[in-house]
Amino acid sequence: MLGFDPFTVVKTLVMQDQDAKPLIVLMHGNRTVSTKNLARQIGAKSVEPCKPEVAQRHSGYMVGGTSPFGTRREMPVYIESTILELPKIAINGGRRGYLVGIDPQVCVALLGAVPVQCALAE
């Protein structure tokens, strides 16, 4: 993955709850989201990934190039809590293959990202 440790590369996932309300989940590049754990922590009945065309409509970004910054629609952002323990992360800057290195605390400060524990082990 462009020479980065996949654990420090953060993917931006557009998901939706049972009412089709969109939300963003920031997850380690080499981890999967436990939708069951996420739903329980955010008080939703269920959470599932959006279809690519729906995700694109909500975010304004092409799938594979989704950034949590500057989305077309304002959505709640959830971040896997272990990401906040890293000194620096690489996160999508708005197009495929364009990663930006930032302090993960920026996600909390600028996006209001709420820490959750929803990563499934490899």
The mean pLDDT values, 10 residues at a time, for the chain of 122 residues are 84 98 97 97 98 97 95 97 98 93 97 97 68
Write the Ramachandran bin of 109: left for phi over 0, alpha for psi from -120 to 50, otherwise beta.
alpha
Give the per-residue pLDDT at 3: 79
- Determine the pLDDT at residue 1: 46
Whole-angstrom distance, CA of residue 51 vs CA of residue 4: 27
pLDDT at 97: 87
Cα separation, 26 vs 10, whole angstroms: 6
Global confidence as pTM: 0.95
- Between CA 19 and CA 30 the distance in angstroms is 28
Query: What domains are defined for the chain?
Result: 9-120 (3.90.960.10)
